[in-house]
Structure 1
Amino acid sequence: MPLALPKLRVGTPLRHEALSVFPLFTEPTGDIGYRLSDEALADQSVLVEEVSEGGSVPNLLVENKGDLRVLFLEGEELVGAKQNRILNTSVLIAAHTKVKIPVSCVEQGRWGYKSRYFGSSGSHSPSKLRRTLKASVSRSVRENRGHTSDQGAVWQEVASLNASHGVASGTSAMSDAFDTHQDRIASFKEKLKYVEGASGVAVAIGGKVVAVDLFDKPSTCLKVWDRLLSGVVFDALEAGPTDQSASVADVEQLLGAAGNLPWQQAQAVGEGEEYRAESQHGDHASALTFEGAVVHGSLVAAV
């Protein structure tokens, strides 16, 4: 196996309505210096814009003007420019470089400038959208077509999200769902706060573990904890009341299976190495590593 996953301990879950959140603990695997994209976008040490005046839906241009690497996470949303996008894969951008990054549109009804540069929405894709995204990008990587998504399938998931949650959006924007339900999202975040020392998180809807995210250090997990929860709140709301709940053993079983997946190396977009894997049941996983450390590993479980 070309990828060695760190040993993980699953903590006591936090629960609210249909959502269970399991903190994951591991020994720090490296001391890689980087900033997160939202921090760098806020002070404009990183600029993200369309690749040209005309734009290109599946690509954006990132310029890192700072002295540290910048980490963008798969599934995070960037808003502005000609239409809102989400990242197709996690990308580590070196200091003082320009890189094209692969993205998907999550605002089908707009193609006109709202701003020159993109900002962070602070939101993250729901697990259903992440599953569609990761599966199609992994397929594209296997077929040597780069990190391209099935854009039509992404739009379908966004439309389903808005319809399921009673969201009226003039531009079919995913961000309108987050704006409409910001109070519900806030209530979930209040009940499910970051657990000190956690380097990762597994989330379950009812009795089903749906997603896992792992980082190289607790400080990163702390900063993205609320953002990751923002997306899965919609999965929980859609599930409604349930008496079922996943257990620590369920998470341990999924993590154990992930370690035995047929991981294959892929060409990373920025710095580091990328690995991808798929289980026989349709679980999709990926990992971005740098100097042997898993900077961001994620798994989205099959339905």
Structure 2
Amino acid sequence: MSYIKYTLVVIFCCSFISVSAQMNSKNLKIINTKKNVFKNLQLIPIKANNTYRKAYQNIGKYDNLKKAIESGKIEINDSGNVNTLIAINKSNVNVYIIAGEVVKGGKQDRLVAEDVIIAPGEKKNIPAFCVEQNRWQQKESGNNFNGYYNVSSKEVRKAALVDKNQSKVWANVAETTQKNQATSGTGTYAELAKSKTYTKDLNSYLEFFKNKLINKSSVVGVIAVSGDKIIGCDIFATHDLFKNAYQGLLHSYITEAITNGSKPTLSNAQVSKYYENFMKIEAEQEKKLEGKGTVFKYKNKKLHLTSF
């Protein structure tokens, strides 16, 4: 009898922790501040309460894609199919790849189409889209993707994550590179790195934002604002996951702000209304995010929410 009572107590406690630690606006509060504003971009931190942080404190360690590629911990190869890459994790740490990240090499540069976790020693197919329309031949690296180029801009990322449309991806890559004087013979998104005007602007934003948000362990996400629009919202299960993704996401937000943005004008009330719309009740999030964003789950735990 005592065993049954003990089991029921454990089940009740686990259920309580699960419910009380939901990814919603009760546990995750936005910090409306004008401190994190530079030129065309405002970043609004999202802070987790103690209950939420404790619920996710044991999810393990993860390397980001940039670190994994540069250290040789992951091998990414062309599969021969435009929409599929093959990844092999050669390390003893999970590698967490964020949807929208661009890798260079193979027969054409690609954009990862979904969040993916590659476990130690695991070989896995990765959904992808092409971000280099006019090339279908190997470079010196052969089938291997040994170059990394951050997270793509909002419109390119959204075309892949939400619309899942190759033509829209190419159209938005072309628009982004053309507006930033970064056109090339192959039409690759990574050509942005060779644009002097874009690079100068990018570096000024990076210098301002590079150490913002990531030094506070309670911050697990961010809302990005440019002009009168929300250009992105990314929320993670832990501060470490957010910190791992932050530099790549910064490139995404900044590129959008440089390309299509203007001085942020949204009021605190407008930002709060946007946030509450999809964050108030966790059970309704995925439905409300249809056509507007995505939710990534791993082993039945929600690790990343993206909204545009």
Same fold by TM-score, threshold 0.5 exceeded? yes
Match of 2:207 in 1: 190
Match of 1:44 among 41, 60, 72: 72
Secondary structure of the corresponding residue to residue 199 of structure 1: strand
Q: Assess if the C-alpha contact under 8 Å between 1:165 and 1:177 holds in 2.
A: yes
- For residues 59 and 254 of structure 1, the distance between their equivalents in structure 2, rounded to whole angstroms, comes to 34
- The residue type equivalent to 2:203 in the other structure is A
Distance in 2 between residues matched to 1:119 and 1:241, nearest whole Å = 35
CA distance in 2, matches of 1:110, 1:79: 12
- Structure 2 vs 1, CA of residues 45 and 239 (structure 1 numbering), >3 Å: closer, same or farther? closer
Q: Can you give the 5+ residue segments of structure 1 that lack an aligned partner in the other structure? A: 137-148, 265-274
| 1:237 shift after superposition | 2.0
Correspondence 1:62 to 2:70: no
> How big is the shift at 1:119?
3.0
Instruction: Say which structure is richer in helix.
Output: 2
Q: CA deviation at 1:230?
A: 1.0
**Partner residue in 1 for 2:271:** 251
Is the contact made by 2:102 and 2:110 (CA closer than 8 Å) also made in structure 1?
A: yes
C-alpha distance in structure 1 between counterparts of 2:256 and 2:93, whole Å: 35
User: What is the correspondence of 1:109-188 to structure 2 with a 5 Å cutoff?
Assistant: 109-114=134-139, 115-116=141-142, 117-136=144-163, 149-180=164-195, 181-188=198-205
- CA-to-aligned-CA distance 1:137-180 (integer Å, 9 cap, x gap): xxxxxxxxxxxx31111101111111222222111010112331
* Paired position in structure 1 for 2:306: 298
Q: Check whether the contact 1:46–1:66 (CA below 8 A) recurs between aligned residues.
A: yes
Note the aligned Cα RMSD (angstroms).
Answer: 2.5
User: Percent identity, aligned pairs only?
Assistant: 23
TM-score where L is the length of structure 2:
0.80
Asked if 1:211 corresponds to 2:229, the answer is: no
Q: Structure 2: how far apart are the matches of 1:122 and 1:178?
A: 9
- Given that 1:20 and 1:246 are in contact with CA atoms closer than 8 Å, whether structure 2 keeps it comes out as no
1:288 is matched with which residue?
A: 296
Conservation of the 8 A alpha-carbon contact between 2:77 and 2:106: yes
Asked if 2 retains the 8 angstrom alpha-carbon contact of 1:108 and 1:155, the reply is yes
State how many pairs are aligned.
271
Structure 1 position 26 matched with structure 2 position 48: yes
Question: Are residues 1:5 and 2:28 paired?
Answer: no
Structure 1 residues 42, 178: CA separation in 2 closer, same or farther (over 3 Å shift)?
same
Map residues 252-271 of structure 1 onto 2, 5 A cutoff: 252-259=272-279
Q: What is the aligned counterpart of 1:200 among 221, 225, 245? A: 221
- 1:105 partner letter: C
Structure 1 residues 101 and 71, CA, compared in 2 at 3 Å: closer, same or farther? same
Q: TM-score, normalised by structure 1?
A: 0.81
User: How many angstroms apart in 2 are the aligned matches of 1:119 and 1:263?
Assistant: 40
State how far apart, in whole Å, the 2-side matches of 1:159 and 1:111 are. Answer: 17
CA contact (8 A) 1:261 1:278 kept: no
Q: d(CA) in 1 for partners of 2:43 and 2:171?
A: 27
Q: Distance in 2 between matches of 1:277 and 1:263?
A: 9
1:58 and 1:108 mapped to 2: Cα distance? 13
Instruction: Name the larger-Rg structure.
Output: 2
As a proportion of its length, which structure holds more strand?
1
For structure 2, the residue ranges without an aligned partner over 5 or more in a row are 1-18
Matched with 1:99 is 124
Q: What secondary structure, in the 3-state scheme, does the structure 2 residue paired with 1:158 have?
A: helix
Residue aligning to 1:108: 133
Alpha carbons 2:176, 2:259 under 8 Å: kept: no
1:192 Cα offset (Å): 1.9
